Structure 1
């Protein structure tokens, strides 16, 4: 009797297990959502509409998707069908372009919240590992010569190969050391230090220092300072200017220290001479290219404009990714749609001028450039 009862119990248990297993095999893993917008609306976008929504042209979109394919592609499993590669790229671009909350993007693309987060995280990692070195790189001697020629022709500034500046990216106060990220304007941020060429393309970036850190300190702690201080990269191909041998150099605002490879304006204390005013004007005109680049960067990628709702490390990755995408857009000639860009740019903390003490390094070069500009104004 006991044997029979055990036998019946075992049989019933086996039947229940088989029934549950069969039922699970037909269960949909994900909650069904509408795919209508991506599947039926986006394919009919005009080129202008595509750029308005994803900030890149279809050609650039295809290039990016193909480049990150090896890192981002997902394989279908028995439990779910993976989101197609191009849709995953589009989800990430939408987040970067709009700064929308994950839930909004989830509803728009018909995917789960975790899928949106994973797409953004995976895309940023892929861009940094695959595309960063291809599109933001220290120039070689040939490119340096071309850059100097461009600055000379456009702004009549000789030997200049780039403009450097910093921009603050708004973030949510991190859990650790939040006061360090509180900038002089009264909000939390991380610093993006960038060098651009005459066309507004980034050729060096440094991302992630806390918003309270002075621009000069960011520069001194960056790889760029170490790279340029030995004089090998920018010390080549010198040109005699007003009796001084001048190598290549960058131009920056008063927040930076003057160096043989970094020119800055004369401090305006109300007693500048006419030739000093002329020098400052020339530098300011040429330096506007980096301000324009930041404007286009943030105009395309609005996640950099308003306070980012992501964790600090992801905010840094998103900033680097946006810089890479900026260069790709510029390389592909993607149309930049201006929407009152001056209104969009987040008000930046005021520049903290770094005074020159005594006769700083590079002062002779600045004087030579001042004389050069003065001679050509006459």
Structure 2
């Protein structure tokens, strides 16, 4: 019984110390969300991007997103259910459309995550998380459509078409956009 009491008292003392440490850390934190991010929704690049998507100017849409409006809507339709987040009492979630806008902008421009953080007025760790989740969702949704079947006959057909169109013999694909 004595061992049990000693174990409990040690656990309580450790818990008390941890609580005091965490309380000290939390009370000294300067801010949880920076003012630029907290009050920036009406000034962020999301508004410009959404305005471009809603306009009928396909040229501006292509210049901004490097894709046509119908292509963006197709991608959104494919991944919206995967990347949507639940709105809670504690926070409002970033909409699936805005998550895709951020990801497409990242891939189209090659801008750094920190640049996007300032432009879209969201935290840099949030940008990183959104990019990771959205690109993963795009991969899951499109892999069967985009990746060719793994048969030598199909690869030869693709190589012939690629050579005819782009004069690149023995090539079955190309990547463009973000340089890795």
TM-score, normalised relative to structure 1: 0.33
In the alignment, does 2:38 pair up with 1:31? yes
- SS of the residue 2:87 aligns to: coil
In the alignment, does 2:82 pair up with 1:71? yes
Contact 2:103/2:131 (<8 A) preserved:
yes
Contact 1:74/1:82 (<8 A) preserved:
yes
C-alpha distance in structure 2 between counterparts of 1:134 and 1:103, whole Å: 32
What is the aligned residue count?
A: 141
Of 148, 151, 158, 1:162 maps to: 158
- Whose radius of gyration is greater, 1 or 2? 1
Of 117, 123, 126, 2:128 maps to: 117
CA shift in 2, pair 1:101/1:285, >3 Å: closer
Contact 2:99/2:130 (<8 A) preserved:
yes
In the alignment, does 2:152 pair up with 1:287? no
Point out the structure with the larger helix share.
2
Shift of 1:34: 4.2
What do the CA deviations read for 1:2-45 (whole angstroms, capped 9, x no partner)? Answer: xxxxxxxxxxxxxxxxxxxxxxxxxx966322443322564145
CA shift in 2, pair 1:285/1:81, >3 Å: closer
CA shift in 2, pair 1:52/1:40, >3 Å: closer
Q: Name structure 1 gaps, 5 residues minimum.
A: 1-27, 148-159, 164-196, 201-281, 309-378
- SS of the residue 1:65 aligns to: helix
- SS of the residue 2:157 aligns to: strand
What do the CA deviations read for 1:122-164 (whole angstroms, capped 9, x no partner)? Answer: 11110121211122131789x94xx8xxxxxxxxxxxx4233x
C-alpha distance in structure 1 between counterparts of 2:108 and 2:77, whole Å: 20
In the alignment, does 2:108 pair up with 1:97? yes
Point out the structure with the larger strand share.
1
Q: Name structure 2 gaps, 5 residues minimum.
A: 1-31
CA shift in 2, pair 1:105/1:286, >3 Å: closer
Pairs within 5 Å for 1:1-378: 31-36=38-43, 37-40=45-48, 42-44=50-52, 46-138=57-149, 144=154, 160-163=156-159, 198-199=161-162, 285=167, 287=169, 290=171, 294=174, 297-298=175-176, 301=177, 303-304=178-179, 308=180
